[in-house]
Every structure is written in structure tokens, then in C-alpha cells.
Amino acid sequence: MSDGRVSVVSKVAVVTGAGSGVGRAVALELLEAGWSVVLAGRREEALAETARLAGGGPPAPVVPTDVADPERVDALFAAARERFGRVDLLFNNAGSFGPRGVPLEDLAYEDWRSVVDTNLTGAFLCAQAAFRLMRDQDPRGGRIINNGSLSAHVPRPDSVAYTATKHAITGLTKSLSLDGRRYGIACGQIDIGNAATEMTERMSAGVPQASGEVVAEPVMDVADVARTVRHMASLPLEANVQFATVMATAMPYIGRG
């Protein structure tokens, strides 16, 4: 089976949250596979570091972006269009967990709103901008891959804002997949469990379980997530991975723990 490294040489991707974690790993994987990649995220220095890590080849453009700001999102896709003329892939990855360990009844409205604005509204704004560009470009069409999470299926304790937005991402994915058909736009979702990134460093020290226990959890190499996204992105638009789950094999998700 082809790994997509030859067929995607001329294609263009926008990756949000590209300054760290899953976003950085996916951006580097796509760059290695021959994609042109626009790096988006809040922190310009972190994005520049991702670009430096890419090594040889043309430098990846860095576009500091708050995905919750409609004007900044429009500017991001305008920059991609100006630089490359089109966008073939949006990896909708930017996200925030919010404050950890805060019971639902104590969660501040501002913290709820911040997570919703980034995880859900930001994903919608980026998808909307991508739709407009993909609809009008020639050849028409493209692909959107949303970063869901295992929290799109089951919650962790004290994670109401993050979990609610990730459940909503599944609805967004389904709507984008349906509404994109008339424009040749495919949309899928990757749900990730315990990839080794800055966000999951605490897993090895122990995290709260539904039982009330604190238990260390296994993690997996984030590179395995990146390879999965590359495979999803490399398919022809006539084919789509609608939902993919990639997780640390022994993490407490399947069954009763």
C-alpha cells in the first residue's frame, strides 16, 4: 500500500496548533512527506521552532493565529492562498483543556467560555474559512481532519468543558462531511488517546479515574498519531476515513478500565 509520500508532493496543508504536541508532529510528518504546510498557532516562537525542526526544503510559513478570532482566521487562510494559491488539507487541531481538577460546580464561566471558544468555535471558524477557499479553488475540493479525542466518546473526571466541546466536534465533523459533498470536500476525525506530548506528561505520574483512584496510564509515541493523519490525508477525495481512534493500547478506555 502506498504511504502517500509521492502522490502529495504538490499539496498544501494548514495545521492549527502547530507549535507543539500533536500539531507539531503532524506538521513535521506532512513536510517530510512533501506537503507544503502553513503553521498556525498562538505562539510565534513555538511555530518558528516547528519550522526549524523541519530541516531541509522550503521553509514552512508561520502565521500566528488565535483561532477564536474570525479576523485572524480569515487572515490565516488569505495568507495560505496568497502563498500557495490553494489549500488541500486543514488539520483542525488547536485546542485547550482548560483548568484541571476543577469540579463542575466550581468552574468559572470565563474558563468554560475560553475552552468553548478555542475548541469548538475555533474549529468551526477554520472549517468555514477552509470551505470557502476549497469551494472556489480550481481544482475544487479538499479535506478537513478534525482532532477529536477519546473525550469525544467518554469523559474524564472534572473535564466538562473539554468533554462537551469534543463531543460537539463529532457533530461538526458529521455536518462538514455531509455539507462538503457538493463541493468535493471530505471531512474526517481522529480521536487520540494518551499520545506522549506536553499535555500528557502527567499521565506517568497518575491521573484521576472514574473510581476516584489516581492511576498512572500508558502513553504512545505521538509520531504514530502523525502517521495516521498522513494516511488519512493521502487518500483520494473519493475515499474518506470518517472516524479513526488511535490510542495507547493498554490505557483505561476499552471495557471497564
- Interatomic CA distance for residues 90 and 73, integer angstroms: 12
Partner residues linked to 144 by β-bridges: 90, 187
Contact partners, residue 236, CB within 8 Å, separation at least 6:
none
- Interatomic CA distance for residues 83 and 111, integer angstroms: 36
> Running DSSP on this structure, what letter comes out for residue 61?
P
Contact 12, 38 (CB under 8 A): yes
> Running DSSP on this structure, what letter comes out for residue 119?
I
Which one of the listed residues 109, 162, 183, 253 is annotated catalytic?
A: 162
> Measured at the alpha carbon of residue 235, what is the angle toward residues 34 and 191, in degrees to the nearest 5?
95
162 labelled catalytic: yes
Q: Which segments of the chain does DSSP mark as H helices, in order?
A: 21-32, 44-53, 70-84, 109-116, 122-136, 160-179, 222-234
**How many C-beta neighbours within 10 Å does residue 54 have?**
18
Catalytic positions are 162
